[in-house]
């Protein structure tokens, strides 16, 4: 069939011999890509009378949307919570390194820090732009996640107590003064039981910023009120919050609450590393609310490096095997898990389908961020950010905008 370039002169690439995750199922069909977008082959054949310029044999790989990590504190020696004049180079390094783990979009996360650190993180230097009503950026990041400092002292976890703050009479102005700017901020984690938190949640929501509940001693009614005012996410479920109790399940109770506004879905992050959450708790959460589960790494600067001492913002942490602790304590402080590892552990621990495991790291975070029309799916006209994986869910290759950006070499490295 002759190629018709009346629509575009850009080459058309056809990925063959693959199983595509589309409409919640692995489907045996080809993937067509042009100009960084996924094509509808019927329109290509019948409207354009077009055909492929390049054919690539995927050798029976699974093709899935690229993973999206909405909570990552750093990695490979980079700590996003350390003040630096060269913030962009750290973002660029991490964005390149995590390609081998299947992550094509991420939210660099800053833990509780002094105001000077937030003010020095110049997000606008990262060429942030608005696309389809959602914050997206040229260097495959999805906007910043500010975790704290408006959190509970009792559930501070690895966050430095001397940097914690409360909302005073100004409330939202207090938040602006602390952060300096909300440019390209996509998620803010706060404790909903704090006074005046409701008005802050409403103001953030008006600006298209996702409010997440975490590091909190909130009871269920306080959590429900926060959701009614616009909160849509829970930061690392079970960790740094009141434990489930049958008379008041706290924030965990949002997974089965009957007081969620109609049409609203509450999402929740889980660190599926086999350490932060017992597999039984992971199974309980997934079975209670499967469509809300979002896999996150909560990775720290030590991810990808040898055990030893590393930073997490204002704190020194120690890596002991797969455990990360505040130095000199047994307080967990992030993880060194990679996203592909979390996906495999989630599937093994819950016994869920391959499709479900993959969507927890792609579709669900995209829905949380409101970018599911561009990211997190392989629907026609969406961004061609995708992975090739084997049946064990190990990443073989990573593509962004239809371009190969990482491939496993012949030695398996």
pLDDT value of residue 132: 37
Q: Which domain holds residue 399?
A: 13-64+378-407
User: For residue 348, what is the enclosing H or E element?
Assistant: helix 339-350
Helix, strand, or coil (residue 101): helix
pLDDT digits over 16-61, tens only?
999 999 999 999 999 999 999 999 999 888 787 778 899 999 999 9
Residues 196, 240: one domain?
Answer: yes
Domain assignment present for residue 108? The answer is yes
Residues 210, 262: one domain?
Answer: yes
Report the DSSP pairing between strands 210-213 and 134-137: unpaired
User: For residue 396, what is the enclosing H or E element?
Assistant: strand 395-400
Domain count, the chain: 2
CA distance 338 to 353: 20
The pLDDT of residue 255 is above 80:
yes
Neighbours of 330 (CB within 10 A): 8
Domain assignment present for residue 324? The answer is yes
Q: State how far Cα 354 lies from the chain centre.
A: 19
Binding site per annotation, positions for substrate = 158, 239-240, 247, 276, 332-334
Residues 338-347, mean pLDDT to the nearest whole number? 98
pLDDT digits over 132-154, tens only?
333 344 345 678 999 999 999 99
Binding site per annotation, positions for Zn(2+) = 147, 215, 236
Provide the annotated active-site residues.
298
- Predicted confidence band of residue 411 (pLDDT cuts 50, 70, 90): very low
Residues 42, 182: one domain?
Answer: no
pLDDT value of residue 341: 98
pLDDT digits over 201-226, tens only?
999 999 999 999 999 999 999 999 99
Residues 259, 383: one domain?
Answer: no
Residues 41, 188: one domain?
Answer: no
Show the tokens assigned to 16. 């063959």
Residues 118, 262: one domain?
Answer: yes
Residues 24, 141: one domain?
Answer: no
Domain assignment present for residue 206? The answer is yes
The CATH code of the domain that includes 81 is 3.20.20.140
Residues 147, 33: one domain?
Answer: no
What does pLDDT average to over the chain? 91
pLDDT digits over 61-99, tens only?
999 999 999 999 999 999 999 978 778 888 889 999 999
DSSP 66: P
Domain assignment present for residue 7? The answer is no
pLDDT digits over 239-253, tens only?
999 999 999 999 999
Show the tokens assigned to 209. 């910023």
Residues 285, 359: one domain?
Answer: yes
| Contact call for residues 271 and 298 (beta carbons, < 8 A) | yes
Q: Any bridge partners for residue 136, and if so which? A: 129
In this prediction the pTM is 0.94
Domain assignment present for residue 1? The answer is no
The CATH code of the domain that includes 35 is 2.30.40.10
Report the DSSP pairing between strands 323-326 and 315-320: antiparallel
């Amino acid at each position: 069939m002759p190629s018709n370039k009346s629509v575009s002169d850009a080459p058309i690439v056809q990925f063959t011999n693959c199983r595509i995750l589309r409409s919640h199922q692995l489907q045996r069909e080809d993937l067509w890509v042009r100009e960084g977008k996924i094509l509808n082959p019927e329109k290509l054949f019948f409207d354009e009378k077009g055909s492929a310029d390049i054919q690539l044999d995927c050798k029976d790989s699974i093709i899935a949307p690229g993973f999206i990590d909405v909570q990552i504190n750093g990695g490979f020696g980079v700590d996003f919570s350390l003040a630096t004049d060269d913030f962009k180079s750290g973002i660029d390094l991490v964005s390149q390194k995590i390609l081998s783990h299947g992550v094509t979009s991420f939210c660099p996360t800053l833990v509780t820090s002094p105001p000077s650190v937030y003010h020095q993180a110049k997000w606008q230097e990262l060429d942030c732009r608005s696309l389809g009503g959602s914050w997206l950026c040229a260097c495959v990041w999805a906007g910043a996640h500010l975790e704290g400092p408006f959190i509970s002292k009792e559930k501070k976890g690895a966050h430095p107590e001397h940097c914690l703050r409360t909302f005073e009479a100004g409330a939202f102005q207090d938040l602006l003064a602390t952060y300096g700017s909300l440019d390209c901020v996509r998620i803010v984690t706060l404790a909903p039981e704090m006074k005046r938190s409701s008005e802050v949640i409403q103001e953030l929501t008006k600006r298209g910023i996702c409010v997440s509940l975490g590091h909190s001693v909130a009871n269920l009614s306080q959590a429900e009120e926060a959701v009614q005012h616009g909160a849509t996410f829970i930061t690392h479920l079970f960790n740094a919050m009141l434990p489930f109790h049958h008379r008041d399940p706290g924030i965990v109770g949002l997974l089965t609450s009957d007081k969620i506004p109609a049409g609203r879905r509450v999402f929740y992050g889980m660190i599926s590393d086999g350490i932060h959450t017992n597999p039984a708790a992971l199974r309980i959460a997934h079975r209670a609310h499967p469509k809300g589960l979002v896999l996150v790494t909560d990775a720290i600067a030590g991810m990808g490096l040898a055990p030893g001492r590393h930073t997490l913002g204002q704190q020194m942490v120690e890596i002991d095997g797969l455990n990360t602790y505040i130095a000199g304590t047994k307080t967990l402080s992030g993880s060194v898990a990679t996203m592909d590892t979390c996906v495999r552990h989630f599937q093994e621990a819950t016994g869920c389908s391959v499709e479900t495991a993959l969507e927890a790291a792609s579709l669900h975070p995209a829905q949380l961020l409101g970018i599911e029309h561009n990211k997190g799916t392989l629907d026609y006209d969406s961004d061609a950010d995708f992975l090739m994986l084997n049946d064990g869910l190990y990443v073989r290759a990573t593509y962004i905008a239809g371009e190969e950006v990482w491939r496993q070499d012949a030695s398996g490295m």
